[in-house]
Amino acid sequence: MWIVAVGWAYVVLMMVLVEALGPDGSVLGAIVTLLLYGVLPIAIVLYVGGARTRARDRRAAEAAQPRAASGDVDPGGGGQAAGDAVAPVREEP
């Protein structure tokens, strides 16, 4: 995968040089060529190509973390004991 990215980067670099230094070329055209033909496609290819590695790393991280038993889970996530939902009404004697 990396060899494809390096090869494409070389081709795009040559295109950018021709665009910038050619008789009818411009620096703005070279920048647009670099972004649209170089950076964007290489970023997409590397992102899609690394999907398996990211999934494998995520599964390894999940397997490394110990899971809590179903009764030990705190749904609120606060770590404190639950109190009464409504305070009791005090009656005067």
pLDDT in tens, 6-41: 999 999 999 999 999 999 989 999 999 999 999 999
d(CA 27, CA 21): 8
Q: What is the pTM of this model?
A: 0.58
Q: Phi and psi of 61, rounded to 5°?
A: -70, -40
Q: Can you give the pLDDT at residue 73?
A: 58
CA 62, 64, 66, 70 torsion-angle sign? positive
d(CA 18, CA 23): 9
In this predicted structure, the answer to whether residue 88 has a pLDDT above a threshold of 80 is: no
92 confidence band (pLDDT: 50, 70, 90): confident
